[in-house]
Amino acid sequence: MTEPFVETVRIQSFGCARDVRLELTRLHALIGPNDSGKSTVLAAIRTACELIRVGQLDLSGRELIDPRGALGSSIELAWGESPAKTELRVSRAPDAWRLQAQGIGVPEHSPLFQHSLIHPLGHDFAAPARGATMIRFDPDAIRQPYALIPEGGPLTIGEKGHKIPAIYEAVLSRDRPAFDAIEADVRRHFPTVRSIWLPTASGSEKGLGVTLIDGTRVPADSMSEGLLYWLAFAILPHVDPTAILLIEEPENGLHPSRIAQVMGVLRLVSLRTQVILATHSPLVINELAPEEVTLLTRDPDKGTYATRMDRTKHFQQREKVYALGELWLSFADGIAESDLVADDETSKSTG
């Protein structure tokens, strides 16, 4: 049985998201011009999930609480079908973030009703209680050696890709068939590579490298960024799941032929962890269904608004001619996307 996932999000007064509502899927992509609000939406979702996961009144000192969540901000998350539907709303009051909850698993006498969030909800309460992980892979971070993870220790990945060498070492120790499967994929997609190499950088740190067909060992500092990114995505199915995985521009550093492979990995990951992407790549969009893509645009006065791709202008006619990514590319103007978004959509702000 697959995990529940957040189906709707409403964000108010959070950065450029004045009042935007999105309908999400298990694997979902946000597209749109630069500065349209994609990163803001991801940050709002992470902020809400972190508040729900930790359950403290004052999280102002935490890096994961985004400063765009100023006084008056609110973020609503909902999932499940009636009568098992659950809704959570976090809002920024003068003294603290507050939480309101209703639905399955929230008794009416619970302090969560109309009160400040005073304790973690626990993993059994809802998917967002497991938090959200932001990923913006940086090749320099992936290259850095990392301390070995103790037996049974959590396999959590850093936002920029820190810990990936140590996670590979842990998977090798804990699940050799899974490690062998990744190596087989590396050989298939990178024919000059024979195996993954995990050199010891110090007594307690592991690095990441590969061994070539001719026996040459290539450390991370000498590996191509494309191979580094590929190895980073390949390990994602083996890290501990969070409720939501938020990924900025998964296409970065990848050869176009590798994008479909990475999207296949992310679809596999989405069976246990909801995956929300922000992307500028039509090749990423080609791997998704129309309902899995939301176009964000930004009005100078009204802020960010959302239009699901299958609700853009003339979609039924256009989809007969274009692949999804090419449809976006053909009609996007990089500013207001006026050939895609109807004039009255700015007032709806609905994914």
- Beta-ladder partners of 218: 210
**Tally of structural domains, the chain:** 2
The separation between CA 188 and the C-alpha centre of its own chain, rounded to angstroms, equals 27
Section 72-83 average pLDDT:
80
The CA distance from 247 to 188, in Å, is 25
Residue 3 reports pLDDT greater than 50 = yes
20 in Cβ contact with 294 (< 8 Å)? no
Confidence of residue 58 (pLDDT cuts 50, 70, 90): very low
pLDDT at 181: 97
Residue 3 lies inside a defined structural domain of this protein: no
Residue 105 lies inside a defined structural domain of this protein: yes
Confidence of residue 122 (pLDDT cuts 50, 70, 90): very low
Highest mean pLDDT out of 49-58, 66-75, 292-301: 292-301
Residues 21, 74: one domain? Answer: yes
The CA distance from 183 to 289, in Å, is 30
Q: What is the per-residue pLDDT across 43-57, written as a single tens digit (0 to 9) for each? A: 999 988 887 777 644
Residue 332 reports pLDDT greater than 50 = yes
Domain ranges, residue 85: 8-131+242-347
Domain boundary residue, one of 204, 238, 272: 238
Residues 250, 116: one domain? Answer: yes
Report CA-CA distances (Å) from 41 to 45, 92, 158, 282. 6, 16, 20, 20
Residues 275, 254: one domain? Answer: yes
Lookup: tokens for 215: 């026996």
Residues 25, 146: one domain? Answer: no
Angle between helices 164-174 and 225-234 (to 10 degrees): 50
Report CA-CA distances (Å) from 249 to 65, 281, 296. 21, 8, 15
> What is the average pLDDT value for the chain, to the nearest integer?
85
Residue 1 lies inside a defined structural domain of this protein: no
Residue 2 lies inside a defined structural domain of this protein: no
Q: What is the per-residue pLDDT across 134-182, written as a single tens digit (0 to 9) for each? A: 999 999 999 999 999 999 999 999 999 999 999 999 999 999 999 999 9
Section 341-346 average pLDDT:
61
Q: Which helix (H) or strand (E) holds 116?
A: strand 115-116
Domain boundary residue, one of 173, 208, 238: 238
Residue predicted with more confidence, 41 or 80: 41
Residues 233, 246: one domain? Answer: no
Residues 208, 256: one domain? Answer: no
CATH number at residue 112: 3.40.50
The CA distance from 147 to 244, in Å, is 26
Residue 123 reports pLDDT greater than 60 = no
Residue 300 reports pLDDT greater than 80 = yes
Residue predicted with more confidence, 53 or 209: 209
Q: What is the per-residue pLDDT across 219-254, written as a single tens digit (0 to 9) for each? A: 999 999 999 999 999 999 999 988 899 999 999 999
Confidence of residue 119 (pLDDT cuts 50, 70, 90): very low
Confidence of residue 4 (pLDDT cuts 50, 70, 90): confident
Residues 217, 92: one domain? Answer: no
Residue 320 lies inside a defined structural domain of this protein: yes
Q: Is the peptide bond preceding residue 165 cis, with omega within 30 degrees of 0?
A: no
Residue 105 reports pLDDT greater than 60 = no
Helix (DSSP H) and strand (DSSP E) numbers for the chain = 9, 18
Residue predicted with more confidence, 24 or 58: 24
Residue predicted with more confidence, 328 or 61: 328
Residue 178 lies inside a defined structural domain of this protein: yes
pLDDT at 256: 94
Domain boundary residue, one of 189, 206, 238: 238
SS (H, E, C) 1-17: CCCCCCCEEEEEEECCE
Residues 18, 124: one domain? Answer: yes
